[in-house]
Amino acid sequence: MRLATMSDIDAILVLVAEAKEIMKQDNHNQWDISYPVKKDFIQDITDKTLYVLDESDIIKGFIVINNLSPEWYNQFEWPVSRDHALVIHRLVASAKYPGVARKLIDFAENYAKSHQFNVLLTDTFSENQRAQARFKKHHFIKVGEMLSETFPFDKGKPFYAYYKKIN
């Protein structure tokens, strides 16, 4: 796992297109033509928050992590302190390489531990069964749901927020 660079952007966008196609096949639109887009990933790279799983010069997945939680998280009564939380914002694992999603979440957990974060936070669309199953498998706990008319959460159905204690 390493920080992404601008030279990775084409491979990242291929993975994003693959993820969007899978979401379309799964009959939901968490990601679409408007989000996420190239400028989002350029900003993530500039901010040094986008990590790629690069094995034998093949980028098999990526994850965006930082300590900035969306404002809508504030509406929930979290059973953990969010003072030292690491947030997973975007995660893509190529379907061509089994085990990549596990490696990405394991990386986030290990990063959190080594940087003294005490909890991981994330969210996903209520229609994204794959992401929900992945978070459940990794022992994330759903804390609440939010329905929004604000981009990029304006999908007509709720988003679910999750947490996982680290230490």
Task: Write out pLDDT tens, residues 65-111.
Answer: 999 999 999 999 999 999 999 999 999 999 999 999 999 999 999 99
Mean per-residue pLDDT for 110-117?
A: 96
Burial of 62 (0-12, 13-18, 19+ CB in 10 A): buried
CA distance 41 to 4: 9
Rounded to two decimals, the pTM is: 0.92
Handedness of CA 47, 50, 51, 52 (dihedral sign): negative
More confidently predicted of 22 and 49: 49
Whether the pLDDT of residue 130 is over 90: the answer is no
CA distance 143 to 162: 6
The pLDDT score that the predictor gives to residue 154 is 65
Q: What angle do CA 102, 21, 122 make, to 5 degrees?
A: 40
CATH of domain 2-165: 3.40.630.30
Sequence-distant (6+) residues with CB within 8 A of 41 are 4, 9, 12, 13, 16, 50
